[in-house]
Amino acid sequence: MNFSELGQRFRKNIQTYIIIIALVAIWGVFAIITKGGYFMPQNISNLFRQMTVTGFLAVGMVLVMVTGGIDLSVGKLAGFVSVIAALFQRDVWFKLIPNEPILSAVLTVFVSMLVGTLFGMYQAYVTAYLRVPAFIVTLGGMFILNGGILLATGGQTIAANQPGFSYIAQGYLKPTIGWILGIVVVAFLILLMFANRRTKRKYGFELKPFYQDMLRTAFFSLLVLVYVAVVNKYNGVQVPVLLLAITAIIVSYISTNTRFGRYAYAIGGNREAARLSGINIKKQLFLVFTLMGLLSGIGGVVLASYVGYGTIAAGQGYELDAIASCVLGGTSTLGGSGTIFGALVGALIMASLNTGLQMMNVAPAWQYVLRGLVLVVAVIVDVYFKKSSN
């Protein structure tokens, strides 16, 4: 392999390199500024917990953006679901089954996921079958949900701190269980890599060099094992991080090894060609936005459990973090490309930035400014390299 080929491959995968370099750079800068305090086990534990809600939304947002769409309502949908969860905890299950915290938590999760899915189906139908642009539909949905939050809360804060429900986002796993699950996740990552390569080879898609896939898998595997080692020095692996990892692995497998996933990428790559090849575009878009609603519902459950309350400001700004996470992770704003694990790294970057700025006591106003700048710069970089590759 000559230097010219190496240069071409570097330029082709430069977004992957940039995101890894950016993550390492952010960690390094904050570690220096905080004199190592940034890498304290408690801070790392909090960092990963804080990224979970954004992570759930980003996992669903990847497929929405891959099809060439956008969902501006995910933050408020998660917020609305968190309020519904709080209401059911306080006004329904506490009165009907006051001495059954586990059953109460299970029923709350079921209702919350159902609410998220149904609202996702509504937006999916209007977008896919009535052919209203997703931008308009989800923007309207954001306003509707914001009104719904105000109506449901009555302008008050609603407690959602029942013991069984709080465990969802505030619980920890024993160190031994954490190590076992960490090793299982690494094994799944390796199997997923080989499954993805086999699928691409079967359908004639372009295969990256094996060493690139191996290095990428090794990076995520190392990240998982280091994370387990560090958080075990505090209280152990957090339950919401485990739930996010399971969700990400499932959706990643679906997006790369099933017709549903392949059709989503085909629609984003060239919608007319996808239609001519026999893909039911309406059905696919309906499923993608419905899945987004389901994941928003899960994110809302985690949000309510983590905060312990349903508030009038619930979910505010999460749509920005989710979109920024996807773009930072290499998901194209023009559709057709993006990965689940890339979006999770993007979510980790956003959480790392937020945590570091909070440790430096940066004013909330400037935190919003910096997050907005990160999104704009990420889109500029994405468009630039998309044009260059074409």
One DSSP character per residue, 272-288 reads: HHHHHTT--HHHHHHHH
Cβ of 153: how many Cβ atoms within 10 Å? 20
From CA 27, how far away is CA 353, in angstroms rounded? Answer: 9
Where does the chain have alpha helices with state H?
Answer: 3-12, 14-33, 41-66, 74-87, 94-96, 101-128, 134-153, 163-170, 175-202, 210-231, 239-257, 259-269, 271-276, 281-307, 318-328, 340-359, 364-389
pLDDT tens per residue across span 230-278: 999 999 999 999 999 999 999 999 998 899 999 999 999 899 999 999 9
Question: What pLDDT does residue 163 have?
Answer: 80
Residue range(s) defining the domain that contains residue 279: 38-171+238-314
Q: What is the DSSP letter of 162?
A: -
Nearest by Cα to 244 from 65, 42, 57? 57
From CA 241, how far away is CA 238, in angstroms rounded? Answer: 5
Name residue 203's amino acid: Y
Q: In the numeric block, which tokens belong to residue 14?
A: 């430069």
Chain position carrying tokens 């928003």: 296
Chain position carrying tokens 């996807």: 326
Number of domains in the chain: 1
Average pLDDT over residues 45-68: 95
Residue 334 lies inside a defined structural domain of this protein: no
pLDDT category at 13 given cuts 50, 70, 90 is low
Q: Is the pLDDT of residue 385 over 70?
A: no
Average pLDDT over residues 45-71: 95
pLDDT category at 53 given cuts 50, 70, 90 is very high
End-to-end CA distance of the chain: 23
pLDDT category at 210 given cuts 50, 70, 90 is confident
Nearest by Cα to 313 from 96, 128, 150? 150
Residue 194 lies inside a defined structural domain of this protein: no
Nearest by Cα to 63 from 288, 272, 278, 236? 288
Average pLDDT over residues 124-134: 96
Q: Is the pLDDT of residue 322 over 60?
A: yes
Residue 29 lies inside a defined structural domain of this protein: no
Residue 103 lies inside a defined structural domain of this protein: yes
Question: What pLDDT does residue 14 have?
Answer: 64
pLDDT category at 11 given cuts 50, 70, 90 is low
Whether the CA torsion 166, 102, 52, 128 is positive or negative: it is negative
Residue 5 lies inside a defined structural domain of this protein: no
pLDDT tens per residue across span 82-119: 999 999 888 877 777 777 878 888 999 999 999 999 99
Q: What percent of the chain has pLDDT over 90?
A: 53
Nearest by Cα to 328 from 32, 54, 43, 79? 54
Residue 346 lies inside a defined structural domain of this protein: no
Residue 355 lies inside a defined structural domain of this protein: no
Residue 10 lies inside a defined structural domain of this protein: no
From CA 163, how far away is CA 343, in angstroms rounded? Answer: 31
From CA 367, how far away is CA 321, in angstroms rounded? Answer: 12
CA-angle at 330, arms to 324 and 332, nearest 5°: 80
For 275, what's the count of Cα atoms within 13 Å in the CB-facing half-sphere?
6
Q: Is the pLDDT of residue 218 over 80?
A: yes
Residue 289 neighbours by CB under 8 Å, 6+ apart: 64, 69, 71, 120, 121, 123, 124, 127, 128, 134
Question: What pLDDT does residue 104 have?
Answer: 87
Question: What pLDDT does residue 256 have?
Answer: 87
From CA 109, how far away is CA 82, in angstroms rounded? Answer: 10
User: What's the pTM?
Assistant: 0.90
Q: Are the C-beta atoms of 58 and 251 separated by less than 8 Å?
A: no
Helix pair 14-33, 364-389: axis angle to 10 deg: 160
Task: State the chain's mean pLDDT as an integer.
Answer: 88
Q: Are the C-beta atoms of 52 and 244 separated by less than 8 Å?
A: yes
Question: What pLDDT does residue 83 have?
Answer: 95
Q: What percent of the chain has pLDDT over 70?
A: 93
